[in-house]
C-alpha cells in the first residue's frame, strides 16, 4: 500500500485529507508541525506529501525547497494544500518545486485529480530512468531569474556535474532565461516563464518555456551567428535595439545540446555528466 505524509496543523483537516487518501488506496501519517518533516521524509520515503504552508514553526515553502534540493527525496510528489490563494504564493510554491498547488477549500475530485497528475509525473520519470525533476514558474523579471539561478547552481552540484560544468550551465540558463523575459514576454512581469530541471543518469536537462508568440532561431538577423558574430550589431542599431544579441551564441557554446521547439518559445539545454562530442542545434 502506498504511503502518504500529511503535514497540517489543523487536526480536523488532516484527518479529512487522510480519509480522502484512504479512498485512493493510501495509508497516511500525519504531522502537525514542520520541524520534523524533512527528517521523517528522509527516513521513510513516502510516495506522496500533502503539505500545508502555514505551520506553527517552519513554513511549507522552506520544507518543500529542502526536500526538492535533496536528490534522495527530489522525486517524491508534493502537493501544497493551503488557504494562501494569492498569485505570489502560488508562484513561490512552484518556484520551490511543488508539483501541484491546491487552495482551500477544494473538492475531493480536485484532490484526486492532483494525486493522479503527480503519480503520472513520477511514473513517467521513473520509466525514463530520471532521478529527479522540478518545474519552476517565475515572473518575467530578471531579479527572479537571478534568484532561481542561485537555487539551480545548488541543484546542479548534486547532479554529478563538475564545478566548471555547473558554471557553464548556470550562464546558459541566465542568457536564455533573459531572452524569454525580454523577447518572449516583452518584460511583462505578470507572465510566467516555466523552467524544468531534470536529472537523468548521464545528463542534466533544462527546458525554458515562455508564453510568447515564439520566433525562428534560424532567421533572427538581430542575433549573433557563429560564422559572423558581429554583423548583427548593425541590424540592432537600425532597429533601435541595445547592443547585445549574443545570448543564443553564448549558450550554444556552453552546453552539449541546444534545441528550440518548432514554435520557438521553448528551448532545451542538455549538459552531459561525462564529456562527449557536442551536438549543436540552434
- Cα–Cα distance measured from residue 25 to residue 239, given in angstroms and rounded to the nearest whole number: 60
Query: Is the distance from CB of 235 to CB of 251 less than 8 angstroms?
Result: no
Residue 88 pLDDT more than 70? yes
Query: Residue range 75-87: average pLDDT?
Result: 93
Cα–Cα distance for residue pair 100/81, rounded to 1 Å: 9
CA-CA distance, 38 to 124, in Å (whole number)? 25
Cis peptide bond prior to 105, omega within 30° of 0: yes
The total number of residues shown for the chain amounts to 282
Q: Looking at the chain, which residues constitute the CATH 3.40.50.2300 domain(s)?
A: 3-127
C-alpha angle 89/135/47, rounded to 5°?
95
* Interatomic CA distance for residues 264 and 218, integer angstroms: 10
The Cα 115–Cα 121 span in angstroms is 10
E-assigned strand segments in the chain: 3-7, 27-31, 48-51, 78-82, 100-103, 132-139, 192-199, 203-209, 257-260, 266-272
Contact partners, residue 159, CB within 8 Å, separation at least 6: 71, 199, 204, 273
Report which of residues 115 and 243 the model is more confident about: 115
pLDDT in tens, 118-162: 999 888 877 776 767 777 777 888 888 888 777 777 777 667 788
Q: What is the pLDDT of residue 226?
A: 74
Superfamily of domain 3-127: Response regulator (3.40.50.2300)
Query: What does the alpha-carbon distance between residue 65 and residue 88 come to, in Å, rounded to a whole number?
Result: 16
3-state secondary structure (DSSP) of residue 181: helix
268 neighbors 246 (Cβ within 8 angstroms)? no
Q: Is residue 184 within 8 Å of 193, Cβ to Cβ? A: yes
| Most confident among 5-9, 163-167, 172-176, 248-252 (mean pLDDT) | 5-9
Residue 137 pairs with which residues in a beta bridge?
194
Give CATH 3.30.565.10 domain extents, the chain. 132-272
- Packed helices 87-95 and 60-69: angle between N→C axes, nearest 10 degrees: 20
Q: Is the entire prediction scored with pTM above 0.75?
A: no
Q: 132-272 maps to which CATH number?
A: 3.30.565.10
Three-state DSSP at 95 gives helix
**pLDDT higher than 50, residue 277:** no
Amino acid at each position: 500500500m502506498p504511503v502518504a505524509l500529511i503535514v497540517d496543523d489543523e487536526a480536523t483537516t488532516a484527518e479529512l485529507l487522510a480519509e480522502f487518501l484512504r479512498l485512493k488506496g493510501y495509508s497516511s501519517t500525519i504531522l502537525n508541525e514542520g520541524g520534523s518533516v524533512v527528517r521523517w521524509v528522509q527516513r521513510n520515503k513516502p510516495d506522496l506529501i500533502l503539505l500545508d504552508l502555514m505551520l506553527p514553526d517552519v513554513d511549507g515553502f522552506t520544507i518543500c525547497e529542502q526536500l526538492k534540493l535533496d536528490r534522495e527525496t527530489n522525486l517524491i510528489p508534493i502537493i501544497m494544500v493551503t488557504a494562501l490563494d494569492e498569485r505570489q504564493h502560488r508562484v513561490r510554491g512552484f518556484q520551490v518545486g511543488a508539483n501541484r498547488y491546491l487552495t482551500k477549500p477544494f473538492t475531493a475530485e480536485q484532490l484526486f485529480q492532483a494525486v493522479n497528475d503527480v503519480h503520472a509525473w513520477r511514473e513517467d520519470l521513473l520509466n525514463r530512468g530520471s532521478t529527479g525533476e522540478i518545474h519552476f514558474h517565475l515572473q518575467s523579471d530578471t531579479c527572479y531569474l537571478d534568484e532561481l539561478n542561485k537555487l539551480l547552481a545548488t541543484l546542479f552540484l548534486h547532479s554529478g556535474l563538475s564545478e566548471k560544468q555547473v558554471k557553464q550551465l548556470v550562464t546558459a540558463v541566465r542568457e536564455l532565461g533573459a531572452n524569454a523575459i525580454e523577447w518572449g514576454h516583452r518584460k511583462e512581469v505578470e507572465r510566467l516563464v516555466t523552467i524544468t530541471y531534470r536529472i537523468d543518469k548521464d545528463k542534466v536537462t533544462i527546458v525554458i518555456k515562455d508564453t510568447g508568440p515564439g520566433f525562428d532561431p534560424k532567421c533572427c538577423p538581430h542575433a549573433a551567428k557563429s560564422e559572423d558574430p558581429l554583423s548583427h550589431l548593425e541590424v540592432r542599431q537600425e532597429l533601435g535595439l541595445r547592443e547585445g544579441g549574443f545570448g543564443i551564441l553564448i549558450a550554444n557554446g556552453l552546453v552539449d545540446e541546444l534545441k528550440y521547439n518548432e514554435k520557438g518559445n521553448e528551448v532545451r539545454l542538455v549538459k552531459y555528466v561525462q564529456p562527449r562530442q557536442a551536438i549543436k542545434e540552434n
